[in-house]
Amino acid sequence: MEIINESKREDNQLLVVTHLSQLLTCITGFGGLIVPLIIWATQKENVKDLDEHAKAIINFQISLIILGIICIPLVFLIVGIVGLIILGVLSFIMPIINAINVSNKGEIYYPLSFKFLK
């Protein structure tokens, strides 16, 4: 038997789309986690660096959900309102910044992100 060594292709456009797909949360409320998860599950063996980027995105989205749930009871202390505003701004700005970084072959960074997937 001959083992065929298939190398992964570089696809920065798919990486950019994966980062920008998080903005679906602003429209649908839940697509920002599901779409990157589907892209990761179907393309992680084919696209170079997709595994790393998708894990960072999924970790960020799960972290936002958990932090949002923590902020809800804190709304009564005004701290929760500030926390929810910060989370909302980060959930809108960070995917755009990281999509630009990916298109320029830069590093990605998601603040307030817990490492659920390594």
Residue 117 to residues 57, 86, 93: CA-CA distances in angstroms?
Answer: 10, 24, 22
Residue ranges of domains in the chain: 12-103
Interval 89-113: pLDDT, tens: 999 999 999 999 999 998 999 998 9
Interval 49-87: pLDDT, tens: 899 999 999 999 999 999 999 999 999 998 999 999 999
pLDDT of residue 6: 62
Interval 1-11: pLDDT, tens: 444 446 778 88
- pTM of the full predicted structure? 0.86
pLDDT of residue 112: 87
Q: Are 44 and 81 a contacting pair, CB within 8 Å? A: no
